[in-house]
Amino acid sequence: MTLLLNEEQSMLRDSARDFLRENAPVAQLRQLRDSHDPAGFAGPTWSAFAELGFAGVAVPEAHGGTGLGAVEIGVLMEQIGRHLSALPFLSSGVVAARLLQLAGSPEQQAAWLPRIARGEAIATLALDEGPKHRPEAIALRAEAHAGGWKLSGTKSFVPDGHVASLLLLAARTDDGVAIFAVPRDAAGVQVERTLMADAHNAARVLLLDVALPGDARLPAGDAALLQQALDFGRAAAAAESLGIADEVFERTLDYLKQRRQFGKLIGELQALQHRAATLYVDIELARAALSKALHALDSAPAQAAEAVAIAKAKCGSAATLAVQEGVQMHGGMGMTDQLDFGLFMKRVRVLQELYGDAGWQMDRLARLRGY
């Protein structure tokens, strides 16, 4: 095993970078935000992204995807982070696709995976109910009802919820956690877009006596497989954070080499040099931890929990430091909406909360290690 990218993976990185730089740069996110775009992402960009095979990177070839692995997901997510691309890839192409593949019936997979891979349908996991990620404390009940199911309750912080045509809904049944495939237009489903600080998509989902047929339940969907699908999402969010950290650090380093005060470049000041060097080491640690997690997901996903928790915690912390230092070292300009640092900072904050912040990951690591 090697933690370095192979030739194909490097080529994937380069083509994703070129595509996103051209088609989904930070400027596009600004435009979507400032025009109050109802979809919150650019449809044509998403279609082109899917046509290049990116949206289906985690979908098996049998279902129309490219059948690549976690490392390739990470490669794409880093580039998405660097460009702050507003695309429903993480929610649909990674977490929902992986959950359907792990736990869905052949019919559910055949109905949804090809459309997810082609970017024609967006699916998303509706999981959290309170302000923090608590997959072990899912309370929304699914009651057996007339050979099917009846669900009532609320889900919050559902990524791309208002543009999804399929909600994968985690609920509690008499025999534990279950996952249900809920069409967005099912009777009793209300989706309310929640405008977030990062100008990316999220929604609140209300279910009022939503009646589902028996085969809406994902046959293998339980707490363990849910965690496994989430681990792909966690590693992907970690990769997006790392991409942001890299981008912000590069821009900040450039600024330290250009900005003059006191008759010299501020990059000559040892106080800033040491902070930049410390941040550099932190980002390299995060990169290594992430590679380890992505390889663990590719080789033995059920045993990858520790490595994923470590990567999500470390990438989150490194990216948090990167955006804070980015703003601070740019001084007043760092605080302006004109520069991009605020946008990066907001996205990192959202990515921290998504699928468990650093504190949650560390608690999980401690539990896994028996203390």
Partner 1 sequence: MSETTTLEGFRAETRAWLEANCPPEMRQPTAGEDDICWGGRNARLGEPQRLWLQRMGERGWTVPTWPREYGGGGLSADEAAILAQEMRRLNCRSPLASFGIWMLGPALLKFGNEAQKREHLPKIARGEIRWCQGYSEPNAGSDLASLATRAEDCGDHFLVNGQKIWTSYADQADWIFCLVRTDSAANKHTGISFVLFDMASPGVSTKPITLISGKSPFCETFFDNVRVEKHNLVGQAGGGWDVAKYLLTHEREMIGAIGERAQKQPLGAMAVESLGRDATGRLDDPALRARIAEFEVDEAAFRALMQRFGEQARAKQAHGAFSSALKYYGAELNKRRQELIMSALGSGGLEWQGSAARDWLRSKANSIEGGTSEVQLNVIAKRILELPGA
Minimum CB–partner distance for residue 358 and partner 1 (Å): 8
Is residue 289 involved in binding partner 1 (CB under 8 A)?
yes
Is residue 338 involved in binding partner 1 (CB under 8 A)?
no
Is residue 304 involved in binding partner 1 (CB under 8 A)?
no
Helix residue ranges, H only, 52-205: 70-83, 97-103, 106-117
Q: Choose which of 83, 115, 292, 349 interacts with partner 1 (CB under 8 A).
A: 292
Q: Which lies closer to partner 1 via its Cβ, residue 2 or residue 35? A: 2
Q: Choose which of 256, 297, 305, 319 interacts with partner 1 (CB under 8 A).
A: 256
One-letter identity of residue 103: A
- Give the span between the Cα atoms of 224 and 217, in whole angstroms: 16
Is residue 132 involved in binding partner 1 (CB under 8 A)?
no
Q: Choose which of 284, 299, 303, 333 interacts with partner 1 (CB under 8 A).
A: 284
Q: Considering only CA atoms, give the Rg of the chain.
A: 21
Query: Containing H/E element for 93?
Result: none
Q: Which of 115, 189, 124, 210 is nearest to 163 (CA)?
A: 124
Is residue 2 involved in binding partner 1 (CB under 8 A)?
yes
Q: Choose which of 27, 62, 220, 288 interacts with partner 1 (CB under 8 A).
A: 288
Cα distances from 109 to residues 125, 180, 213, 313, in angstroms, run 15, 13, 17, 32
Is residue 29 involved in binding partner 1 (CB under 8 A)?
no
Query: Containing H/E element for 310?
Result: helix 305-329
Q: What is the DSSP string of 117-137?
A: HTTS--EEEE---SSS--GGG
Candidate ranges 22-30, 90-98, 226-234, 267-275; the one touching partner 1 (CB under 8 A): 267-275
- Give the span between the Cα atoms of 40 and 86, in whole angstroms: 7
Contacts of 54 (CB under 8 A, 6+ apart): 16, 19, 76, 89, 93
Is residue 371 involved in binding partner 1 (CB under 8 A)?
yes
Is residue 11 involved in binding partner 1 (CB under 8 A)?
no
Q: Which lies closer to partner 1 via its Cβ, residue 197 or residue 277? A: 277
Is residue 70 involved in binding partner 1 (CB under 8 A)?
no
Is residue 330 involved in binding partner 1 (CB under 8 A)?
no
Enumerate binding residues for partner 1 (CB under 8 A): 2-4, 253, 256-257, 264-265, 267-268, 270, 273-274, 276-278, 280-281, 284-289, 291-292, 306-307, 309-310, 313-314, 359, 361-363, 365-367, 369-371
